[in-house]
Amino acid sequence: MQPMRWILAHPIAVFTTAATGGILAAASFAVIAVELAPPSQLPALLLSVQWPGASAFTVESEVTQPLESLVQQLDHVTSIRSQTREGRAEIAVQFDAVANMGLMEVELNERMYPLYKALPAGVLWPAIQRSVPEELADLAGFLRYRLCGDQRPGELHEYAKAHIQKAVLAVVGVKDVQLEGGQPLELVVELDEKAVASAGLASADLEALQGGRSSLGTLWEAGAAKKVRFDGGYDDVEQLKQMPIGAAAVRLADIARIYWDAPGDVSRIRINGQNSILITIEKYPGVDLLDTAAAVEAALAQAMRAAPPGFSLVKDLDKSADLQRELTKLGHRSFWAVLFIAAIVVLTYKKASATLLIWGTILLVLAYTVGLLHLAGMTLNVLTLAGLTVGYGLSVDNSVVVYDSIQRHLKADASCPPDQRILAGVAEVLKPLLASNLTTVGAVLPVFFLSQDLQLYFKPVAVALAATVLFSFLVSCLLLPPLLLVLDRRGERAA
């Protein structure tokens, strides 16, 4: 009990230290991220490699197995799964929670180069991308909108790409903006085989319409689609129709049908008779959901100011609204719980000071816990709030037990100095409280021995609960006694 004697002898130093730590911890409320749920998947990479024409057995022995051996040399790898089919193979590589995925991608690309030179001819360069499990695919986007208008879907897509996508990607915390539907319009040149033959054109005469990376559209020849590149500048379809073909006086319009189209569209959705495209917005994990959603809303409003007449933006999904509803429900329930417990404390002790002291220590405990969560890189979400809620009730127990024990000893023997009576009150309950709190913390320790997949779901609750319990014990036993000593001395002076 020697540390407790020092604390009771230096209450100002204790109050200053506790208040400073509380202010710093309370500042975490302004910066800690708020999410609907914590990241529920371990980082993973997906390798896709193609070998056209090769059998599944050949692909597995010549490509899949060497790639698996290469991946096993990386650090932080927890599991490797592969699936080989005719002409292609996919390898899913899962890493532990501390892996730096940017460095892993770079290292994998560096190791891949010497191996790729040893692979059989015809194997394409493996594609590497971040993997998202199918069961979590619906969590990729936290905001989803539909851009609607009377214009063609391609025009909607072009406007969204030029204005909305760029504006939203500039928002801090936004990871990606995906546009679905309304593929950009491109020129389609549909050759008439009979007209080509009648004009006496050879295949060499059509070389000006053959592929290239800077393609403008699609060429349909003998039922096969090819990309078109026009080296001379053609501003519109009418100019293109006058393009000379071969040495003969043949224009492109004489042998082909030319029109704008969006051949990449596989489906179209209309809302209230208008065409629409889907805009899905994805944020980085650990970024505040509410703040990011508000910033995206402002960016969208700014981008839509210059929209042509008839354009409208319809919200299709908003997970920030779901989080706001959950927080509102939690706030209402917490308010009534606080009111109920406060009423019990007032009726029990008949003192407003007792209620203020107990709730003051509880608020300080919550501030310390949130500060610790922020330092640990965690967020406020459904799981951490659940741990705080359970720990909140235990915090009340600790404060009430210590307060009640000290009050009984203060009233027992007036001849004994107040600090000795407070010391006796703390000593009476210290061991039982320490045992009960350590037992509670020990009950959640097995969570940290679970597999990493399960820890993603249970660790936030365990950390929030254990931190609240430990901070509650320390505050109740170290801060509440000097507070009661100062109040008792002031009461004696007033008397």
**Residues 322-378: tens digit of each pLDDT:** 777 777 777 777 677 777 777 777 777 777 777 788 878 888 888 898 888 888 878
pLDDT band for position 214 (cuts 50, 70, 90):
very low
Say if residue 164 is exposed, middle or buried (CB neighbours under 10 Å; 0-12, 13-18, 19+). Answer: buried
Decide if 271 contacts 314 (C-beta within 8 A). yes
Longest dimension (CA), the chain: 123
Determine the pLDDT at residue 215. 41
Determine the Cα angle at 191 with ends 187 and 197, to 5°.
155
Percent of the chain with pLDDT over 90: 4
pLDDT band for position 300 (cuts 50, 70, 90):
very high
Mean of all residue pLDDT scores within the chain? 78
Residue 52 clears pLDDT 60, i.e. is over it: yes
Determine the pLDDT at residue 131. 56
Residues 240-257, mean pLDDT to the nearest whole number: 78
Determine the pLDDT at residue 286. 64
Q: Can you tell me the distance from the alpha carbon of 129 to that of 150, in angstroms, rounded to the nearest whole number?
A: 36
Count, in order, helices (H) and strands (E) of the chain.
18, 15
Say if residue 275 is exposed, middle or buried (CB neighbours under 10 Å; 0-12, 13-18, 19+). Answer: buried
Decide if 337 contacts 444 (C-beta within 8 A). no
Decide if 392 contacts 384 (C-beta within 8 A). no
Q: Can you tell me the distance from the alpha carbon of 472 to that of 105, in angstroms, rounded to the nearest whole number?
A: 43
Residue 381 clears pLDDT 90, i.e. is over it: no
Mode of pairing for the β-strands spanning 274-283 and 256-261: unpaired
Q: Can you tell me the distance from the alpha carbon of 359 to that of 392, in angstroms, rounded to the nearest whole number?
A: 11
* Tokens matching residue 22: 């509380």
pLDDT band for position 133 (cuts 50, 70, 90):
very low
Determine the pLDDT at residue 208. 57
Look at 132-146, 215-229, 423-437 and tell me which has the smallest mean pLDDT: 215-229
Residues 49-68, mean pLDDT to the nearest whole number: 89
Q: Which residue has the higher pLDDT, 417 or 267?
A: 417
In 117-208 the beta strands, taken as DSSP E runs, fall at 127-130, 143-149, 174-180, 186-191
Work out the number of other CB atoms within 10 angstroms of the CB of residue 171: 20
Residues 465-487, mean pLDDT to the nearest whole number: 88
Residue 254 clears pLDDT 70, i.e. is over it: yes
Q: Can you tell me the distance from the alpha carbon of 112 to that of 119, in angstroms, rounded to the nearest whole number?
A: 11
Q: Can you tell me the distance from the alpha carbon of 86 to that of 65, in angstroms, rounded to the nearest whole number?
A: 15
DSSP string, 205-239: GGGGGS--SS--EEEEETTEEEEE--SS---SHHH
Residues 82-99, mean pLDDT to the nearest whole number: 84
Residue 206 clears pLDDT 60, i.e. is over it: yes
Domains defined along the chain, listed by start: 2-31+351-494 (1.20.1640.10), 44-131 (3.30.70.1430), 137-183+266-319 (3.30.70.1320), 187-259 (3.30.2090)
In 297-356 the beta strands, taken as DSSP E runs, fall at 312-318
Q: What is the pTM of this model?
A: 0.55
Instruction: Give the three-state DSSP class for 352.
Output: helix
pLDDT band for position 285 (cuts 50, 70, 90):
low
Decide if 263 contacts 140 (C-beta within 8 A). no
Mode of pairing for the β-strands spanning 312-318 and 217-221: unpaired
Decide if 180 contacts 277 (C-beta within 8 A). yes
Q: Can you tell me the distance from the alpha carbon of 433 to that of 395, in angstroms, rounded to the nearest whole number?
A: 11
Residues 130-154, mean pLDDT to the nearest whole number: 67
Look at 19-33, 206-220, 401-415 and tell me which has the smallest mean pLDDT: 206-220
**Residues 427-448: tens digit of each pLDDT:** 888 888 889 888 888 888 888 8
Say if residue 215 is exposed, middle or buried (CB neighbours under 10 Å; 0-12, 13-18, 19+). Answer: middle
Determine the pLDDT at residue 449. 79
Query: Running DSSP on this structure, what letter comes out for residue 78?
Result: E
Q: Which residue has the higher pLDDT, 144 or 394?
A: 144
Residue 273 clears pLDDT 50, i.e. is over it: yes
Look at 116-120, 225-229, 339-343, 400-404 and tell me which has the smallest mean pLDDT: 225-229
Residue 244 clears pLDDT 60, i.e. is over it: yes
Residues 106-124, mean pLDDT to the nearest whole number: 86
Q: Which residues contact 280 (CB under 8 A, 6 or more apart)?
A: 140, 141, 143, 144, 177, 178, 180
Say if residue 63 is exposed, middle or buried (CB neighbours under 10 Å; 0-12, 13-18, 19+). Answer: buried
Q: Can you tell me the distance from the alpha carbon of 369 to that of 25, in angstroms, rounded to the nearest whole number?
A: 8
Q: Return the H-helix or E-strand segment holding 274.
A: strand 274-283
pLDDT band for position 299 (cuts 50, 70, 90):
very high
Residue 226 clears pLDDT 70, i.e. is over it: no
C-alpha distances in Å from residue 231, one per residue of 37, 205, 220: 53, 14, 18
pLDDT band for position 230 (cuts 50, 70, 90):
very low
Determine the pLDDT at residue 235. 52
Q: Can you tell me the distance from the alpha carbon of 171 to that of 294, in angstroms, rounded to the nearest whole number?
A: 10
Instruction: Give the three-state DSSP class for 248.
Output: coil
Half-sphere exposure (CA, 13 Å, Cβ side) for 364?
Answer: 24
Q: Which residues pair with 304 in a beta bridge?
A: none
Residue 240 clears pLDDT 60, i.e. is over it: yes
Q: Which residue has the higher pLDDT, 341 or 388?
A: 388
Q: Which residue has the higher pLDDT, 194 or 90?
A: 90
Backbone angles phi, psi at 491, to 5 degrees: -65, -40
Instruction: Give the three-state DSSP class for 82.
Output: strand
Look at 170-174, 349-353, 397-401 and tell me which has the smallest mean pLDDT: 349-353
Q: Which residue has the higher pLDDT, 393 or 291?
A: 291
**Of the candidates 317, 297, 308, 315, the residue with the CA atom closest to the CA atom of residue 138:** 317
Residue 421 clears pLDDT 50, i.e. is over it: yes
**Of the candidates 136, 112, 137, the residue with the CA atom closest to the CA atom of residue 48:** 112
C-alpha distances in Å from residue 42, one per residue of 76, 100, 127, 494: 11, 11, 20, 62
**Residues 328-337: tens digit of each pLDDT:** 777 777 677 7
